[in-house]
Chains A and B, each alone.
Chain A
Amino acid sequence: DTEVTQTPKHLVMGMTNKKSLKCEQHMGHRAMYWYKQKAKKPPELMFVYSYEKLSINESVPSRFSPECPNSSLLNLHLHALQPEDSALYLCASSQDHGRAYEQYFGPGTRLTVT
């Protein structure tokens, strides 16, 4: 199984809503990532979890709250988002942390904030 799955595929939410994005992998990978990708732009790193601990937070606003309940799951909790937060949110995982390990991406969640 070399797949990273993400749910939901699409999400529309209002600025006062609370929602969560979910990511799952069963490859035994110990590092997991959240990226944000706007149209015609490259993916931008948001968070890195290594061995279930947050290791990198790229100065992301607190309205985005990551959570890693176990080594296979990664959540992104959303609250009080702005329309400019509309984007494709990508989850990725790699065998271990560190530069030499390729990251495998999920298909993404297309988020629209109204």
Chain B
Amino acid sequence: DQQVKQNSPSLSVQEGRISILNCDYTNSMFDYFLWYKKYPAEGPTFLISISSIKDKNEDGRFTVFLNKSAKHLSLHIVPSQPGDSAVYFCATNQGGSEKLVFGKGTKLTVNP
């Protein structure tokens, strides 16, 4: 049973517009969430994280929002750039340990 769900396998947006990537989780005990970006033939690259004591964390063009009551988080990228085209994984540290549990990923394509 998937504990971290990314229900959209792909997303396509125009350059300069906002990209919104969504992630749902099942366990209310999860309290730390991360987003990773992965280009083909490379390992995942850490983007941004958020703790459950916050509902928003911002880093440049990237903002993560956490809605604990809905068990939902989202990653906003604005403005989107063609170089942002990659697969984005949502992840959480299961049980407060160093074990990362990943969603299946969403492939973002930003069109020039």
Contact = CB atoms under 8 A, between A and B. Distances in A.
Partners in one complex: yes
Given A4-B43, A92-B43, A43 B102 contact: yes
B98 A50 contact: yes
B99 to A, nearest CB: 5
Contact of A102 (B34, B96, B102): B34
Interface string A41-63: 11111001010000110100000
A94 B91 CA distance: 15
Interface stretch (B13-21, B44-52, B61-69, B72-80): B44-52
Interface residues of B, number: 23
Interface residues of A, number: 31
Interface string A27-50: 000010100000011111100101
A64 interface: no
A48 B99 contact: yes
B98 A31 contact: yes
A107 B41 contact: yes
Interface in B2-39: 31-32, 34, 36
A43 B104 CA distance: 9
B100 to A, nearest CB: 6
A42 B103 contact: yes
B46 A102 contact: yes
B93 A99 contact: yes
Contact of A45 (B32, B96, B100): B100
